[in-house]
Structures are given as structure tokens and as C-alpha cells.
Chains A and B, each alone.
Chain A
Amino acid sequence: MEKIVISESNYQIRKARIVRTKKLTPLETLFEIVLDGDRSLDHEPGQFIMVSLFGIGEAPISVASSPTMRDSFEICVRAVGRVTKALHALDAGDEIGIRGPYGKGFPIRIFEGNDLLIVAGGLGIAPLRSLIQYVLDNRRDFGKAHLLLGCKTPQDILFADELDQWRRRMDVQSEYIVDRAEQDWTGPVGLITTLIPGVHLEPERTFGVVVGPPVMYKFVIKELLAKNIPEHQIILSFERHMKCGMGKCGRCQIQNIYTCQDGPVFRYSAVKHMSEAF
């Protein structure tokens, strides 16, 4: 039978090279990646890529660096699945495949001129780091910036050195809280929701940007609403399983929306009635 060659496949990967790895915790590693031909990834903060290892598979991973860094980009990977565990065995100089970037990122043009209250739980800091870096690189375009970061224990803190840099800046306020800690931890202990009531903010000009584990959203959103931040100014990013990244395979579907194409960033007002969203 005659064969037709599909030369324009959407599943073709772009070659990329790991140029640096940095172990952040026993489970999480930061990879700095350069695309073949030194081209820029040209993503928006909040977008994700499909990382591809031939023979193992692909996994959706959010970009953890700002597009203002143009020569390379970073991803923060937790070793939990087949692809992510295999990625952790790789080092500087190794090649990986990339598809994307995919999805709708944070609405930065809408954020401009307004205040930001960024709430990151656990690995939620990965996509938010892209936003935070972008805001700090373009600091005067935004109003007040407040960061609330939380994780399980002090040993789970990601980007601790950057957190120290952010702390030293006069143009951003940040607080870090852990669920539980030994005596050498001097910061606050408890749930991230306990930090929100103490934040001084002007709700009508504040965007609450929340990324974290699924269980966190309900409680954080409740606190943000209690601060009178309107529903359409609460911005969330969802984690879902994905195979194609192009709105077809069905894995990431939340009722009538595809997380990969319509999201992963959503306004709370657009998804609050969806039981499958939370």
C-alpha cells in the first residue's frame, strides 16, 4: 500500500541541552536548558512545556524562569513519575526533547499597574517563580508585590537562596511559613492560610495569584475572598495529567475546558462552579 509521510507532525520535538543542574531537595532538581540553535523558548510566565525522553515518554512541566532570561530557561522537577525520575538521572551536557510552550500563562498585561499577592504552596513556587522573576525584572510596571510561600518542613524549601535575595529587596514583601519544624527554624509555623489575614492590601487593585497542591486552593481562596479580593482577581494555575498539550487527548479536561489550552491559568470566577476543578 502507498504510504504518505507526515512531515509536519505536531509531535516532533525540538532538541535541547541541559547546561546546569542544581539539586534543591532530595526530590526536586532545577535544570537549566538551552534550545538547539540557541533560540529563545519565548514563553509567558505560567506556560508549560512537554519534556521528552525517547524510550521513556513525555511529561508536562511548567517553566520556572522568567522570559526576561532569554538565552536559556529553567524547569524545577520533582521526581514522582517515570519521566521525571529519568530526568533526575541526567546531568549537564545531556540532551532532552522539548515541545511547546503550551497553554495560557498569567495575565501579566492585566497585572500591570496593580498590586500582587502571590501565594505559593510547595512545588507551586515553580510556575510562580517565572512570574516573580518577571515582576522583579520589570518592577516599576507593577504596584505592590507581596509573596507568601509555604511548604511542609524547612528541608522542603525550594529556592532558599533566591528567597533570601527577595527578602533583602525593599520593593517586595515576602513571608515563608512551614507546616512543621524543628527548633532551629526561626520563622512562622502553620498553614499558609494563617498569613493572609495579616497582609495589608487594597482589594480592588490587588490580584491574588495562587499555585499549590489541589487541597490548598479551597482554603486560600476563602481567605482571599475574606480580604474582599473580587473573584475575577483571584488567579489560579491547575496541575493536570496531560499527553498531548494541544486540547485533544482528554486527560486534562475539567468539564468543558481543557487545562492545557484554556489554562493552566484560570480566573477563579471562571472555574468556581466546576466541581471537577478542585
Chain B
Amino acid sequence: MHDIQYYLLKKRAFSGFISRLAKVQPLAAPVRRGEKNYAFELVTSANEISLPYIPTILPPKKYFFPQREVLLEFDTRRGLHAGPVGVAGPMTIFGVHTCDLAGIQCLNMVFSVRPRDHNYLIRKRKITIIGLECNDYCDEHANCALVNASLPSGGYDLFFTDLGDYFIVHVNTQAGDDIIDAVKQFQPAKEANLQDLAALRERKRVVFRNEVALDQRFLPALFDISFDGPVWKDLDERCLACGNCTQVCPTCYCFDIRDELNLDMATGVRYRVWDSCQTEPFAKVAGGENFRKSRLARQRHRYYRKFSYPFAKFFRFFCTGCGRCSRACMAGIKLKETLTSLISQGGEGPWKR
């Protein structure tokens, strides 16, 4: 056993590292997909990977909780036969930003609540996560500083920080250490390297400012008094109910379950697929009643599911500050603007500073 926590990887060794990593098990990493668009995709070499990158269109959630996932395979010719299904095996995700690490941590909690979701938890155990630090603020939509997601706080096996001609790598788990051992490209970090890392983090505290005039400690209290606030009326008038915001969110996990019959009319699959609480029929019952009929109620529900309800249940915000909802909104609804409106409409309180 050895207890070295920080290693170095020279930039010129990065390409060899990625190739080795991709040979061990399938490797996903951020890939450029057009102007300011990136996606996590399977890669085999470093030149496919795009670094640095701004948050991908879909978060790495898709490897833990796929957009479409078969739950049962059935064959009605054999009575009510339903066989267990196979899911993708071990994989590595390289380059996960701190916002997306936070998103995975949120989903880990959700799917671990009993009754535990075995589909998710089996995948989780088989995925190795290599994080990557953001040295600069990605764009005007991010709000990671508000929710304390701009600096790493666990949730990874290895964590890479770009320090010029080398990466400094934090080893967080034995699985991460096994990679260091297997890929013989790493050297133990020296005191000077750790000082470089500390200096970067200091710089980041200045660059990654919280642009919402609010201490995050007061968010739950602000939401407690804002349920009937005028800001939701404004969103009601602007929201198109397209569901983009929830599709790209790293902590949204609503789903639908559907059956698909094959052409033989006997065999088929039952699968779950991402769904959105922003669509009109989501909370409708068979009798016709709709419990979140207005866009106001649905947008409000989305915000409360980020800043209020999970805080009571998990002591954690389900907003990671990635900015995807604001980036994807066709109506220009911006999370930071909504929060700023809430503060100004919230009257006197500790959230006012």
C-alpha cells in the first residue's frame, strides 16, 4: 500500500495515456460537435477529445441512467415470461467537470433511496470516473459558484487539473490508483506542483464569482416564501413547455415506462425513457384531471425540484450550476435571472444583501 495522493502526467504523455485507457475498457470523453457544442462519446485516441470544453449537450448522466433503457424482455407465447436484461459493462468516463460530478452525486442519492434502483446502481459500480478541473469560467450561463460546484469535492476516482505543460492528478480511490499503476506514465507530484495547484485554486476563487446576489445558505428560505411569487407568472408567459431544460439537466430523472411489441405481436420489451415534468400531460390522471396544468406550475415545480425539495430530503441542491437549462432554453429563460428576480421580489430577509 502507498498513500501518495497526487501524481503528474506530462502533456506529451497524455496521448499514450488515453490510448492505454481506451484499451482497458470502453472510454467516453468530451468530443467537439460544432460551434460551442460538445458531447460525451466513446473515443480511442486523444486527438478525438476536445479540451478545454464547455458543458456537453447531455451530461454524463446518460451512461448511468440511459435515455432509453430496457427493463424487461417479454415473450407472451411463454405465458407471462419476462427475462432479465443485460446492460453495458464496465467503462471509463474521462474529463467530467465538477458540475457534472455533482450531478452524478445527486443521482446516486436518488437511486439509492429504497426501493433502490438496481439498474442504476449496477451501472454506477461499473463506471470509472476521471474528473477534469475547469480553469476558466465556461460562459455566461454557468452558476457553479452559487452552488459550490466550481471546486472538486469528491465523486471521482481520478481528478485532472491542467497546469500548463502537465496535469496534476488527484487519486481519490483504489480504482483510480489501479489506473496510475497500470499506465506507467505518472510520476509522484512534488511540493512545487502542489503549490501550483493551490495558486490556480486561489485564482479561481476570484474568477468564479457568484453572480447571483445571494448566499446559497439562504436559498431554501427564499424558496419557502416564494411559492406564490410573481416570477412564476413571468415564466408562465415565456415557457414553451418543450422540455429542453429537463432533458439536458444533470439532476433531472423523471421517466416514462413503455411497452414495445415486436412485429411478431408476441415478443417485446418494456423500457424506460427520459420524460419531462414540463410537458402538459405529465401530471394528468386517467380521469382527465391535471395536477400541474399551467406552465407556471410546471416551471415552478422544476425550480423547486432543484433548490427546495431535494434540500429537505438530501441536504443538497439539485442545481449543479452547469448552465445547461439556460443554454438550451428556446424562450431565453435564464436560471440566474429567475433567481435574481426571486431575490428582488422576496422582500426583506437574510437573502437580501
Interface residues of A (CB under 8 A from B): 1-13, 15, 54-59, 78, 80-81, 84, 95-97, 213-214, 239-241, 243-244, 246-251, 253-256, 275-276
Contact = CB atoms under 8 A, between A and B. Distances in A.
B303 interface: no
Contacts of A97: 80, 82
Contacts of B110: 248
B331 interface: no
A250 B255 contact: yes
Which applies to chain B's interface (DSSP): helix, strand, loop or mixed?
mixed
B226 to A, nearest CB: 13
Interface string B334-353: 00000000000000000000
B192 to A, nearest CB: 42
Query: 10 closest Cβ contacts across the A-B interface?
Result: A2-B89, A250-B254, A3-B86, A256-B309, A11-B71, A54-B74, A81-B286, A55-B261, A80-B286, A246-B115
A247 B117 CA distance: 10
Output the residue of A214, A250, A255 with the most chain B CB within 10 A.
A250
B255 A248 contact: yes
Nearest to B65: A248
A276 to B, nearest CB: 6
Which applies to chain A's interface (DSSP): helix, strand, loop or mixed?
loop
A240 B286 CA distance: 9
Given A243-B257, A243-B275, A250-B282, 14 more contacts: A4-B86, A4-B87, A9-B119, A15-B79, A57-B257, A57-B258, A59-B286, A80-B287, A95-B80, A239-B287, A241-B286, A248-B255, A256-B304, A275-B227
Interface in B246-283: 253-259, 261, 265, 268, 270, 272, 275, 277, 282-283
Nearest to B262: A55
Interface residues of B, number: 56
B277 A55 contact: no
B79 A6 contact: no
5 contacts: A3-B88, A8-B118, A54-B80, A78-B286, A246-B117
Interface of B: 26, 71-72, 74, 76, 79-80, 82, 84-90, 110-111, 113, 115-119, 122, 126, 227, 253-259, 261, 265, 268, 270, 272, 275, 277, 282-287, 289, 291-292, 297, 301, 304, 308-309, 312-313
A70 to B, nearest CB: 22
B287 A3 contact: no
Contacts of A78: 286
A55 B270 CA distance: 8
Contacts of A12: 72, 82, 84
Contacts of A246: 115, 117
